Amino acid sequence: MKVLSIAAGFAAAVLMAQPVLAQADDHAGHAGHAGHAAAPAVEGVGVVRAIDAKAGKVTLAHEAIPALKWPPMTMAFKVADPALLKDLGVGTKIRFKLNGQTIVGLTAL
């Protein structure tokens, strides 16, 4: 029975490792940015380029965000709450608050 219990323990370890791998994958699609893992909430300024209310995403041409070492660029962000998008239009300049790569708050400028 010893062999069986070792095999069961190994299977459990593999299962437990999977959520960690999935988290790491979240950042793989964003190679243009350096070192934003576990970033605290940070503010940025940008102009709305596109809105996808259904997906809860907004594309911004954002200014540099020195706290995250991000250069100015155009990219899509998820929003924490789709209601944040309701007063936005293409061309609206906003100040936004980020938690990781999710916008958690914004105001039109």
HSE value, Cβ hemisphere, 13 Å, CA-based, for 95: 5
Cβ nearer to Cu ion, comparing 45 with 73:
73
**Number of residues counted as binding Cu ion (CB under 5 A):** 2
Judged by DSSP in three states, 16 sits in: helix
Whole-number minimum distance, CB 72 to Cu ion, in Å? 8
Q: Token pair of 40, please?
A: 């605290």
Rule CB under 5 A: say whether 45 interacts with Cu ion. Answer: no
Amino acid identity of residue 17, one-letter, is A
Cβ nearer to Cu ion, comparing 46 with 56:
46
**Cα 18 to Cα 11: distance, rounded to the nearest angstrom:** 11
Tokens 């809105």 -> residue: 51
Q: Token pair of 2, please?
A: 């010893």
Output the CA torsion sign for 21, 36, 109, 60: negative
Interface characters, 67-106, with Cu ion (x: CB under 5 A) = ------x-x-------------------------------
Cβ nearer to Cu ion, comparing 39 with 73:
73
User: Which range touches Cu ion (CB under 5 A), out of 5-13, 66-74, 85-93, 100-108?
Assistant: 66-74
Rule CB under 5 A: say whether 47 interacts with Cu ion. Answer: no
